[in-house]
Structure formats: structure tokens, C-alpha cells
Structure 1
Amino acid sequence: MTATTSSFPLSGHSSEGRADKASVALNTPPATKRVRDHRVDALRGIALLMMFVDHMPQNLLNRLTIRNLGFADAAEIFVLLAGYASWLAYGRGFPKYGVAVTLRKIAVRCGKLYIAQTLMMISFVVIIRTWRNFTPVPVDFLEPELAHGLSNFWRVFLLDALPSNLNILPLYMVLLGAFPLMFCVIRFNRFLALGLSFALWLLINIDPSVNFPNWLDPDGWYFDPLAWQFLFVLGACGAIEAGRHNGNLPSFSWLKILCAGYLMFSLLEAFPWTQWGLPTIRPLALPSPDKSTLAPLRLLDVLSIFYLVQSSQLARQFSETRLGQALALCGRHSLEVFTVGTVLDLIGRLIFTTFGEGWLFQVVINIAGLWILYCVTVVYERKRNRARELMKPSEPKQPAAS
């Protein structure tokens, strides 16, 4: 489209006006394209792969995951980053797309989480019952209360019964369902939201009996949502703060030293010295902090990790490497990776239990499992890219030259 003469003042100084505008245009720096920060995706990918390794107790590789290198484990990272990602996806969605559209997106995501939970439960039942046709399977693979029949499986589908290794997605569903309320309080006053969330977390740590009911466990949900909501809110607030600094958390040397020192203390306390045949070096020999209530030592551990990663340019550079991009790919498709990984965990545990825990099975199960998970991410990434291509508006046809 050509500019018309009405775009400029019709006066004797029009040429000067055009010159001034050209001068301003030349002196104005070009708008920089916002580059995606892959650190959160890469960190979430690491957490998902560690979950895959950790959920097979016989897997020797889990000696190298953060579960044995500190107080916290991959679950804390997963929930913290879920809060972070929820703010980016839905917290910014409310003002951008409107309340109705964003609420519908949250409902759709919760529905996908429920479907994934249901598919994993059905897969567990089918795999275990099929395996039992050939060799005995310990009842604790499906919880003793559920192992001998299907009469109480309706409790599982109503989230009234949460079997082991199938209890983190229900937590995510509850937290995501409560996100609109969290959003309102955070938008009103972020520090008020943090204060209220902290008070609820503190109450649960003082009285752990306050929990959601679980038919399989008289103590309630293994991940008490009333305690873990604090980590979710911290993740959302972290996204707000990072958004003000180009994706980085403010970098303070003294805070980095404190976080690194705490993680070193956590490492010395939690490291499995005896499993490695090493003398025990524990400064205080503390008992393992409670995971159900997100004990303070676990909370400080995951916050230290997150701060060091999200305030580090080295971590950003790593996320741009080939390995970092592969991990980020896993993080971007977290639900699919977690769902497939959980089913693979069950198969791996059954193989270890049936055929032994020798090095051959260790190598094959880990390499095959990690390769399958990577292939899952590739498939879903291609699917996402195709969907984006279809959503792009078609280029207008150029008129033929006369």
C-alpha cells in the first residue's frame, strides 16, 4: 500500500518534517525480539526424568538424583514450576483473553489431567493383571486394598483413593482448579497472597492431620494440597518477579552464597553414604523431613535450587545447548512425559522384581525408558508445530504485475 500525501502536513515545511522523522527513525534502536527463556522448561524436564528414575526403587540410577542429593526431590520442582507455568499461561491470560476464555482453558487442562490419571490407573490394572497370569506380583504394586478386586475402583475415579505413584496429578488438579482464586488475591496484593498462603502452610506443618481424605491412607493425601499450595503460589509469584527482569530473578551474590551453602548442607545430610560404602559425614544427622506437609527443610531446598537456576546466565546458556533443548522439550510436554514415564516405571519395577536387578537390566531399562520418553516429546512437538502451522493465517496472494 502506498502512502498518500495526507500523511504529511501540507505546508512549506513538509520536507523538513519528513527529514526530522527520518532522523528519529535512524536514531531509534530497532525493537528487539523477545527470546524465550528455556531454563524453566529444561529444569522441569530434568525433574520429570528424575521422577521416572526415582519411581523404580530398584533402579541404581536414582542414587544420583536430587532425592539422594538433598532434602527435596523432583516432586517439589514439578509443583513449583507448575505454579510458575500456570501464571504465564493463565495469570497473563485473564487480562489478555478475558475471564471466560481463561477459565475454559483451565477447565480443559484439568480435564486432560484427569484423563491422564484415569489412563494411568487403567494401565496399571491391565498390566499387573496380565503379568500375574505368568508370575506372582506383590500386592503392594496396586495397594493391598485394590489388589484383590475391582469393587472399590470407583473411589479411585472420584479421587477418594490415591494409590502410590499416582498421587501427584490429583494434587496438580486441585491447585490448578484453585488458581482463579489465587489469581484474584495475587492481583489484589501479591504480599497478602503470600502471607495467607504461608499461614495455611504453617498451620498444616503444625497440625498435619488437616488433610484431604484418602480411603487408602488414614493420614490423607500423600501430598497434602493445603501445604503444597504454598509452593505453587511461590512459583506463580516467582513468574511475576522474573517477568519484570527479562525472565531472570534479581541476582544477589550474598543470596547465591546462602543458597549454595544451604544446598551443600542438604547434600551432606541426605547423601546415601552407606549405599556408596563411604563413611557417614552428616553435620547434624537430621531425620528425613516430612514430604506430605512440605516440611521447611524441603521447601528451602527447592527454593534454593530454583533461585540459583533462574538467576544464572550460565543456566540460561546451558538451556540453549543441544542437551538443554532436549530437556526443555521434555519440560514443554510434561503431562505426556509424566504419563508415559509412570507406566514405564511400573513395567520396569515388574521386570526388576521378576528377573532381578543385574547390570544388564539396569542399563536396558534406563536407556530404553529414557529413549521412549524422548521419542514421545518429539512426536508431540511435531504435532504442536503442525497445529501452529494450521492456525497461521494464509499469506494474501500478490496481485499479478500488469
Structure 2
Amino acid sequence: MPSAPARDHRIDVVRGLALVMIFINHVPGTLFERLTSRNFGFSDAAEAFVLLAGVSAALAYGRRFSAPPWWPGVSKVWSRAWTLYLVHLLISMVALAIVASMARWSGSAQMMLQDNFRPLYQDPLGVYIGLPTMLHQFGYVNILPLYVLFLLAAPAALWLGLRRPMWVLALSVGLWVLAGVTRVNLLTYPGMNGWFLNPLAWQLLFMLGLLIGLRLKDGARLVPVHPVLVALAAVYVVMALLWVKVPAVREFLNTGMVWLSRQGAPRLITHFDKGHLEVPRLLHVLALAYLISVWPWFRARAGGVAFWALAVMGRQALAVFALGTILSFVARALRELWTLGGNTPSFAIDAAIILGGILLQLAFAALKDRLKPRPSPRDARQPVPLMAAEAPEKAAVNSPAAPPLPRSVADRP
């Protein structure tokens, strides 16, 4: 069995960058929001983080399924899933406390009327049932339930991925197509609406990451480095940038998508719905991931001082995601209190809120990183699958007769 490869710091850095963008996007209305990745292409930090979650799961747990006994590996993965479930409940209750406090003491119920908190007025008993069963998820707090489900399925996927990786890929793609074409989804309660991020579709990104991680564990690649693939990925990323940023290009290409839709092309191809991970978004995150993976400059410098802040946040991703989600609710409450006082949000206030929140997350990550036990070189392994992702933004809902909107504003929370 080959020895474990050295830690890939690129995973930590990209995950840390995604955490920063997640926090910024979860405080909507600031100028900083215009700088995040969703403004420059079809996908955003959510897709990147789920892909990296699969990679990390394979790097952390893959070898436990290479030979029996199987139960130690299963119990390790499911123990992680249990931890994520408990963190999800904690975040949900703290978010609820912040929103309820605003409703009680600020004189404004605005936060209670959005992000799926309104059912607390309409059916509180249903919400009390839905929260612990993960069937009711508040806005910005709905990524961890997705990941819990993926980790519950991960032992079987890892076992099969080590033996028949193409079977895993075929089954995953088939489920993604089924979900995209039929719009089948897991139900929610109360309110039978379906999960915001459809697990039946988003599992494809996790499984692709898992297959990538299994290959990385052996020092290989799932997709080879080839000039043609690099060129195609770069062209797609540039095309997405022009589509989003240049009105004339957007109008022309949207018209083409509408034409395809009228010719019978499935919505999975012609739209940009985040919830169902439709083709333009999927290809965009895969193209970005491929370009980053073949970028020698980034590989050589990802472990350096210049990227230390992002790397340490990426290494402590679950803790940072939890704190960042809570701080995003605090930040939104502070901005609302500021406006209730008759003030207009200013760049200085937004900068203090956003930069202060990021610094708190960085300090927390650095402290946890410093205090955690250090493994011996012989036992060093790749990072465990810490989780965060961009939680709930309202995906664009485009009718087949209307031009799709592959823009950040279509994904505004």
C-alpha cells in the first residue's frame, strides 16, 4: 500500500477562501458582496465546498475501506455525521435566539418574516418536529443536513469506489439526471416544499470529490492533465465571466438558452437553478477546480505564509463555519438595528461588521489550530472532512419561456 501523500494545502486554502465568501454572502446588502465568486460565474462557494467535502472524506477515511474489518471505518464516518448533526442543531437554535430577540426587543419582526422563520408563527409545533429531524431548515443554516446525509452514504460509496469507481460515477450521474429531469426531491415539514439544496442532485459533486480524493490518496489524478482539457476549462470559465458581466453577451446567450428550451431541451441543461445543480453551474465549478488543480504556482505556494490565514481557517472549517453562520445573523441584526435608528448603512459600518467578523473567525481558527494535538509524522494524514458551504441563497427560478439569469443577483439570499 502506498504511503500517504503530504498534506495538500490547496484544499485548506480554497476552503478557507470559500468560508470568507460564505460569511460575506450571508450578510446581504454590503459592497463586499460584489467581490465574491458568485458575481464572476455561474457557481459559488457552495459547489466548491461540497466538492472539497467529498475529496476530504476520501482522504480521511478511504483506506479504512480497503480491507476488513469494515465497522471501524463505518463508525468513524458516522461519528463525524453525528457531530455535524449536533452542530447543525446548535447553529439553528442560536440563530433562532438571535432572530427571536430582534422580534421581541427591537420592535422589528423583519428577520422573523424571512429565511424560513415565518412558519414559527404559522405552525410552531410543526417546526419543533421539523428542526430535530432536519425536515425544517432555516435560511443560511441548511448545508449541514445535506452533508450529514452524504456522510451516512459515504461508507458504501468509499467501499465501492475503491473497487468499481466507474460504478459509483454512473450511479451518481444517473441519480443527478433523475432529480434534474423529474425535479424529485426530499420533502420538508411543515410545508412540503422540498430541500433548498436537493440532496439527490448535489450528491454528484460530493461523489466526484470522493473519487478525486481516492485517486489523490494514491498520488494519482482522476482527470489527467492535458492541454486540450486546460484550454476547454479556461474557455468555459471566461465564457461564464462574460455571460455574467457583459450585458450584450448575456442577452445573446440567454436567447440561445430560451431557443434550446423551446426545442425541448431539458431544464437541467438550459437553466441555472442552484437547488438542482443544473449543468451550467456544475460545469463551472468543475472547470474552476480543474484549473486550480493544474496551476503549478498555486501548488508551490499554497503552504506558504501568504496563504496562512486562509489555510488555518480551512483546516478548522467546521468550527469556522459554525461561528461564521452565527456571526452572520449577528451582523444582519446589527445592520437592521442601525437602520431602525434612522441611519443609512455606510461603507464604514459594513466594513467594521464584515472585517470584524472575518477576524473573529480567523482568531478562533488559529486558536483551535494551535491547541489541537499534533500527530507524529508517521501518522500524519490529509485533513478530515470539515464542512461548510454556502447556505441558502434563493436560487433563480426561471420559467422555460423566460431568459435564464446566470448572475449573482439571481442567487441573492
CA pair 280-137 structure 1, distance change in 2 beyond 3 A: farther
Q: Identity rate of aligned residues, in percent?
A: 31
Cα shift at 1:301: 0.6
Distance in 2 separating the partners of 1:34 and 1:166: 34
Distance 2:330 2:271 in 1: 28
* Alignment match, 1:6: none
Amino acid at match of 2:21: M
Deviation by residue 1:273-324 (Cα, 9 ceiling, x = unmatched): 6xxxxx6542513686011111011110110111111122111123122232
Partner of 1:359: 347
Kept after mapping to 2: 8 A contact 1:58/1:352: no
Q: Which whole-Å CA distance do the structure 2 matches of 1:292 and 1:238 have between them? A: 23
What is aligned with 2:394? none
Q: Within 5 A, what are the aligned runs for 1:35-54?
A: 35-54=6-25
* 8 A contact 2:116–2:137 mirrored in 1: no
Q: Kindly indicate whether residue 79 of structure 2 is the aligned counterpart of residue 108 of structure 1.
A: yes
Query: Where has structure 1 moved over 6 Å in runs of 4 or more?
Result: none
Closer, same or farther: CA 338–294 of 1 in aligned 2, 3 Å = same
Give the Cα separation in 2 of the matches to 1:146 and 1:342: 20
Structure showing greater Rg: 1
Write the letter of the residue equivalent to 2:62: G
Report deviation, 1:147. 4.8
Alpha-carbon contact 2:19-2:321 (below 8 Å) kept: yes
The alignment of Structure 1 onto Structure 2 pairs a total of residues equal to 353
- Name the counterpart of 1:137: 109
- Aligned partner letter, 2:106: F
Aligned AA (1:220) = G
Please report how far the alpha carbon of residue 50 of structure 1 lies from its aligned counterpart in structure 2 after TM superposition.
0.9
- Alignment check: 8 A CA contact 2:15 2:317 kept: yes
Asked if 2 retains the 8 angstrom alpha-carbon contact of 1:171 and 1:225, the reply is yes
- In the alignment, which residue of structure 2 is the partner of 1:375? 363
Q: Describe the shift of the 1:124–1:258 C-alpha distance in structure 2 as closer, same or farther (beyond 3 A).
A: same
| Pairwise CA distance, 1:366 | 1.2
Of the three residues 147, 152, 175, the one matched with 1:200 is 175
Deviations along 1:181-227, one digit per CA (max 9) or x if unpaired, are 2123223311121011111101111111x111112553300111111
Task: Provide the C-alpha distance between the structure 2 equivalents of 1:128 and 1:344, rounded to a whole number of angstroms.
Answer: 12
Asked if 1:82 is matched to 2:53, the reply is yes
CA distance in 1: counterparts of 2:16 and 2:121, whole angstroms: 32
Distance in 1 (alpha carbons) for counterparts of 2:54 and 2:170: 16
User: Structure 2 unaligned runs (5+)?
Assistant: 258-269, 340-344, 380-413
CA distance in 2, matches of 1:280, 1:56: 30
Deviation for aligned residue 1:140: 1.2
Q: Does 2:274 match 1:291?
A: yes
Letter in 1 for 2:323: V
TM-score by length of 1: 0.81
The answer (yes or no) to whether the contact 1:204–1:293 under 8 Å persists in 2 is yes
CA contact (8 A) 1:249 1:310 kept: no
Are 1:341 and 2:328 counterparts?
no
Cα distance change of structure 1 residues 308 and 217 upon mapping to structure 2, 3 Å threshold: farther
Instruction: For 1:64, give the aligned amino acid.
Output: L
Aligned to 2:162: 187
Counterpart for residue 157 of structure 1: 132
The amino acid across from 2:233 in the alignment is: C
